[in-house]
Amino acid sequence: MKTILTGIRSNSVLTLGNYLGALLPMVRLANKYSAEYTVNIFVPDLHSIISEVDGDLRENIVRTVKYYLAAGLLVNKNVHIYRQSFVPAHSELCWILDCVATMGETSRMIQYKEKSKGQESCNVGIFNYPILMAADILLYDATYVPIGEDQFQHIELARNLAMRFNNRFGEVFTIPASTAEQVKFMGVSEGIRIRDLLNPEKKMSKSTVADGSKIMLSDSPERARKKIMGATTDSLGRIKFDMFAQPGISNLLQIEALISGVPLQDVISTWAGETKYGDLKKKVGESVAGELATFQEKLAKISDEEVLGLFEEGEEYANDVANKKLFEVQKAFGLR
Ligand code: TYM
């Protein structure tokens, strides 16, 4: 069985960007394919500590899993949910892959450049983070990794490390699908990048200070609707998908498509020829508010115990699979 795998850090409450870029696509894929694929959903808690954590990390970890359930994830015997730090093989393989990766390729990672801001005082975890991510993926022979566009470079790095390793030692790792294949598998036309509502040239990010820039999953539906109504657009007076000339309008069309599950092209066609930005904002605001209302209602009903029960099964499974793969790698290197 092929494996679909993803993880979302648990530093804080998530944004609509996390939700539409990774969480909802993963839930839809899991529900569609979990009879024929293995589905691994894990919380990269070790990745979470590269930067400051808002609130209590353990609570955030449990809440992150609740988010998947509230978004409609159906759990069956092929769906495994686990915490990265409860599977020590991730850190162990990360070290081994550190000895395969080069400083050059790792230094080229855009997220590292952005997060380190070129400062030597940045922690080494920020530099090493894509290698740990490669370990997360390669330990389970994952083929498909539903993620937002900002993580594509890390998938390419994981692929390169797997290919380099296999060239040296034989076929130890499954090579994850290329980003073009990932996009196809996710059923979208290009990588998903939800934009900052006030500054749509940038991606929506939890670290942006201006509250109107981002929708948090904890925002009330009404507050979220207001933020959409306040989104920056342009003065061209046409509703067209053009990320360069009209990033604000394109972002709204993208949000509408992802929430409704309607292909982006169809949403674009529906609005073609329309000129009233207020109408589009009203529609998208209602969609976001409706989605959040349903999501939050379900979220409130999920107990911590339910999540802890899922971890129990998932971590037993994950340790079993990961330790077997790690042993193969250790043998290849002559460590065993
Ligand atoms: P993280 O926690 O920063 O983000 C989680 C997921 O949310 C997506 N995302 C977005 N997608 C679209 N538009 C946005 N504005 C937006 N903001 C965030 C991210 O692309 C990501 O998919 N390194 C990863 C976590 C990780 C992981 C892994 C993922 C660790 N190991 C193995 C997959 C496989 C991260 O920091 O994502």
The structural domains of the chain, with segments of one domain joined by +, span 3-187+303-333, 211-299
Just list the catalytic residues. 115, 203, 206
H-helix or E-strand spanning residue 43: strand 38-43
Q: How is residue 331 written in tokens?
A: 């043998």
**pLDDT per residue over 48-61, tens digit each?**
999 889 999 999 99
pTM for the model stands at 0.97
User: H/E/C letters for each residue in 258-275?
Assistant: HHHCCCHHHHHHHHCCCC
The predicted pLDDT at position 154 comes to: 98
To test ligand 1's pocket by mutation, which of 18, 68, 90, 213 has the most ligand atoms within 8 angstroms of CB?
A: 18
Residue 116: per-residue pLDDT: 87
**Would you say the CB of residue 18 lies under 6 angstroms from ligand 1?**
yes
CATH code for the structural domain at 211-299: 1.10.240.10
Any atom of ligand 1 within 6 Å of the Cβ of 150: yes
Query: Cβ–Cβ contacts within 10 Å for residue 221, how many?
Result: 18
Q: Is 209 exposed, middle or buried (0-12, 13-18, 19+ CB in 10 A)?
A: exposed
> Rounded to an integer, what distance in angstroms lies between the CA atom of residue 10 and that of residue 43?
7
> What is the pLDDT, as a whole number, of residue 118?
82
Residues of the chain with pLDDT under 70: none
Question: Looking at residue 288, what is its pLDDT?
Answer: 98
Distance of alpha carbon 116 from alpha carbon 61, whole angstroms:
24
Output the CA angle 198-49-200, nearest 5 degrees: 10
Distance of CA 166 to the CA centre of its chain: 27
Q: Which CATH number fits domain 3-187+303-333: 1.20.1250.20, 3.30.565.10, 3.30.465.10, 3.40.50.620?
A: 3.40.50.620
pLDDT at 120: 87
Question: What CA–CA distance (Å, rounded) separates 19 from 25?
Answer: 8
Whole-angstrom Cα distance, residue 126 to residue 25?
A: 26
